[in-house]
Structure 1
Amino acid sequence: MSDNTIQLAVLDMAGTTVADGGLVLRAFDAAATVAGIEAAGPERERARKYVLDTMGQSKITVFRALLGDEDRAQEANLAFEAAYEALIDEVDITPIPGAAEAITRLRDAGVKVALTTGFSRGTQDRLLHALDWKDIADLTLAPSDAGRGRPYPDMVLIALLRLQADAVNHVAVLGDTTSDIATGLAAGARIVAGTLTGAHDDAQLRAAGATHVVPSVVEFADLVLAEHI
């Protein structure tokens, strides 16, 4: 087998393979109110900026950093998950154009695919159900399945172990946030790509250390398959 062969692609969901219509910020606003952050003013604006800057990270980690209190963080996280799941029923959750086809192309070529998220397992399952994506990937992972969420490498490494890739240099990671890039780099993946369909722009993704920046998951599949010799 060529050293260039990518055996595993680890793909983020919201913003990378799934268009959720900005539900993260809407759910955050609901959770912030529950946590006692004023609906308007500098504290709410600072909190919203932090959420944008840390998009992609495990939400409980974000709330811990924002609130500095474990009980309030847990309460806010539960409120966030409840709000997001309720909003799923109100908004047309759709795949990023070409995402399902790109995933199928990868798998048909022999590349295993893992879908990862910063949400809870329950919320991830709701997204997968809304998209009718139950069987689209070889593996789906939430932070609770791996130990720690982004920016730690745990989900990528658990995917490698469960799907039996030979080594980290046979792994490609794709995400729309700097947290996704940090995760891929920490895991030692050979391709750590950013996509322009989500939260962070080209400059942010490149500054975070992305090895590639692509317009969407479609071009990411092209990139991976070009090296799948």
Structure 2
Amino acid sequence: MTAKRNTPVALIRDAAPFAIRAERGSDVVAREALLDACFGCNRHTRTCQRLRDGRAPAEGLSLAAVRQDGRLVGTVRLWHVSAGGRSALMLGPLAVDDDCRGLGVGAALMRRALAVAKARGHGAVILLGDAPYYARFGFTVAKTGELSLPGTFERERLLGVELVAGALDGAWGMITPTGAPLPEAKAPRTRSRTRKAPLAVPHAA
């Protein structure tokens, strides 16, 4: 009689309590409420918003994080820009529901966004955010030092990552929007309220 072998069994980690998927039309109200909560109602007056106003996000690069009950708990979108004559994407805003901090929602959104951007043939991504947080995804100031934004910004927070080597070589000048214009009826209206925004670090603006 052959002795029964003890076959090692790999432990299976619990499934993530959220999923990343493409944003849907039904997500818009929840997304806007989340962005208001993270960045304040004056977020429409921020510098990076000038690159998004009246423009459509890059195709396939509006992502949502949702809980198992369907509640939206994270969002990120990327936009077509010219980075001093170099074609690139601008990432933001990135926001995560306070109740889901520490679950890796932001990191999951970032990794998926960069993977999709690379798969779609984009060469570089730029954002305005905290260098210590975004360094893990490859973002640095190495090739953004000669770039500017249409408004006030902190130089050390303008970061970039190349998805294709050399995509930001020689990038110099103003970052400008190049995405497809939204139909006028769909263009978001700038809000007039200027209530102080809550702290939203380390999320990209």
Q: TM-score, normalised by structure 2?
A: 0.29
Q: TM-score, normalised by structure 1?
A: 0.27
- Larger helix percent: 1
